[in-house]
Structure 1
Amino acid sequence: MTSTPLWTFDDVEHRFHEAAATSCRLPPARVAGYVTLWPEIARQSWEGYADDLTVLRIPATPAAVDRLAETTQWLQWLSVEQRKLVWARARYVPWRVIAAQLGVPRQTAWRRWRHALTLIVVQLNGRPPRIAETIPQRHAT
């Protein structure tokens, strides 16, 4: 019998960082309506770098987009304030800025973030973690 691996706090944190990075790699949203039928201008390599509007993007892989969709669904288990906190931290917003936005000390913001990610870990694992599982057992000799 194979058991499913349990999610850890670090796994969930890493997944949110990856989701934030993937969301930056998605193409920009465009307003539907106006379309041009003119072909794209084929520029030389030396011409493209002088343009301020040229942004070199590495597109997101389909697997990364699937993980992004799954990760954003986890946010439904949190309150709106917790969602904003988790997503801001996933984008590496400094604790000082997050604490100022919440109007709390940095340590309190950090504790709220840990609590929010712990709620997600509990939802993913389907049961709360036991303290005895986290403490290494000593073997009698």
Structure 2
Amino acid sequence: MASALDRRRPMAEFKLTPSEVEDRITEAADVLGRLPSTTIQGYVNTWPPMVREYWESYGVAEVKLRRPPPSAAAITRMDQSLEWLRWLDPIDAQIVWHRANNDRWKAICGKVGLSRATVHRHWMYALCVIAWRLNGNKVPGKRARGHLVERVNALRQKNENETFLARTDSPAE
């Protein structure tokens, strides 16, 4: 007897998983943080502060180090990843973005006004929606959120099993 997954549009391979989507969005948040600031320069003085006394010079050489600017390829991947957030409900996009910035769950709960379990469900659903759409599927509109998460996890598990079987069936070299 065919399962509900087999009766749907067959998928040759489940290309992106929710964890890979999470990694890409986390990378996008990191790249965005490494970009130079876009503030108006205004009237600035590029001279270092004048040292008048010896004791004022203590600690002057300390420089705040910045990470190097991102590469062009990283910026392109960031732009692609930020477009994915437009597919989500605003609350889900906000949760995903806060999590990509390594905000704590408790802080996210306070910002969006939801419980910890609900925020985690929204986060999982949002990652599954992005993975589902990137793999060329249409998000079911009249289904519960948990249904999509279950389908994505089932397809991911099925492909992992097939990959494992293909590796074990191949002759050893």
Q: TM-score range by the shorter chain?
A: 0.7 to 0.9
AA aligned to 1:6 is: K
Q: 1:117 aligns with which of 106, 111, 127?
A: 127
SS in 2 for 1:92: coil
Moved over 4 A (4+): 40-43
TM-score of the superposed pair, with normalisation by structure 2? 0.62
Aligned to 1:24: 33
Relative contact order higher in (CA < 8 Å, ≥ 6 apart): 1
Aligned to 2:91: 81
Superposed CA deviations along residues 4-52 of structure 1, whole A, max 9, x for unmatched, are 87111111000011111111100001227x477x8x5589xx8441x6x
Alignment partner of 1:134 is 2:143: no
Superposed CA deviations along residues 46-84 of structure 1, whole A, max 9, x for unmatched, are 8441x6xx4523211111111100100111101211111
Which ranges of structure 1 fall in alignment gaps of 5 or more residues? none
Alignment partner of 1:11 is 2:34: no
Question: Structure 1: how far apart are the matches of 2:60 and 2:30?
Answer: 28
Aligned length, in residue pairs: 129
Describe the shift of the 1:132–1:29 C-alpha distance in structure 2 as closer, same or farther (beyond 3 A): closer
Contact persistence 2:17–2:156 (CA under 8 A) = no
SS in 1 for 2:38: coil
CA RMSD of aligned residues (A): 3.1
Question: Structure 2: how far apart are the matches of 1:58 and 1:48?
Answer: 20
